[in-house]
Amino acid sequence: MKMHPSAIWRSWPERLPSRLHQAVSEGLSECRQPTAALFFRADDIGVPGKNFERLMGLFARTRTPLALAVVPAWLTPDRWRALRTLGRGAEDLWCWHQHGWRHVSHAVSGKKHEFGGDREPRRIEDDLDRGWTRLRRLMGDAFFPGFTPPWNRCGKAALDAMIEKGFRFVSRSAGADPAAPAGLADIPVNVDLHTRKEAHPAAGWNHLLSEIQRGIASGRCGVMIHHQRMNGAAFAFLEMLIAAAAASGRLERVHLGRLANS
């Protein structure tokens, strides 16, 4: 799957390292907790490729946990062997979990969704179960029972079915409705690196740095990655963000599974 990078990754702004440092510092100064959590979630996983290999290498080299949202219908035994090989030697960093079933929208109108209110609950339950069963069969103990819905949205029927199935967390966009039911950890992302829609890079950078600052200030900064949309500049910034977190002293890079268990 090849997609074009957003506008910000075609125009690197001046003083970016100092602007990022300022966003991190101001976010931490506004945070009411002794430390803030930082987690990374990579979506649309299932097909190996050069960008995915580069992504895994970056997180392994920096010893940074990464939650990998796997589309069950995309995964085959051969693909799983290739993905697992790229993560070998750093298994403790990865949180392989479920990303829908086929990543196909069933919306009749409005925004895209795979598990929204336009579908019968029975069909939602069937697709959740198909995805869970396929990933558990192919991945074994490497599979963590978490769920990231495609397009970061799902309905009440899906959330209720997750509880029944035994999912431990759901990860959507910050402020997503409806609220997750009791017993299902709601761990949203609040920073979007690669699916940005701003036409002008300057506006995109302002918004991105503000998202990082606000996410850190909230005490939990969740960063969404789409590796198919990354170019060299996007990889360089991601490494810069990881380095800034490591140097901050108060921004802890955490495993999504650990957040689900906390």
Q: What is the pLDDT of residues 122-151, one digit of tens each?
A: 999 999 999 999 999 999 999 999 999 999
Task: Give the pLDDT band of residue 3 (cuts 50, 70, 90).
Answer: confident
Determine the pLDDT at residue 105. 78
Domain count, the chain: 1
Task: Give the pLDDT band of residue 22 (cuts 50, 70, 90).
Answer: very high
User: Considering the domain boundaries, does residue 2 fall inside one?
Assistant: no
Measured distance CA(151)–CA(248) in Å, rounded = 31
CA-wise closest residue to 223 among 253, 258, 257, 259: 253
User: Considering the domain boundaries, does residue 34 fall inside one?
Assistant: yes
Q: Assign 3-class secondary structure to 19-63.
A: HHHHHHHHHHHHCCCCCEEEEEEEEEECCCCHHHHHHHHHHHHCC
User: Considering the domain boundaries, does residue 169 fall inside one?
Assistant: yes
User: Considering the domain boundaries, does residue 167 fall inside one?
Assistant: yes
Measured distance CA(105)–CA(58) in Å, rounded = 31
The enclosing domain of 70 has a CATH number of 3.20.20.370
Contact 2, 228 (CB under 8 A): yes
User: Considering the domain boundaries, does residue 118 fall inside one?
Assistant: yes
What phi and psi values does residue 163 have, to the nearest 5 degrees?
A: -60, -45
Domain span including residue 167: 7-261
User: Considering the domain boundaries, does residue 146 fall inside one?
Assistant: yes
Measured distance CA(218)–CA(110) in Å, rounded = 30
User: Considering the domain boundaries, does residue 113 fall inside one?
Assistant: yes
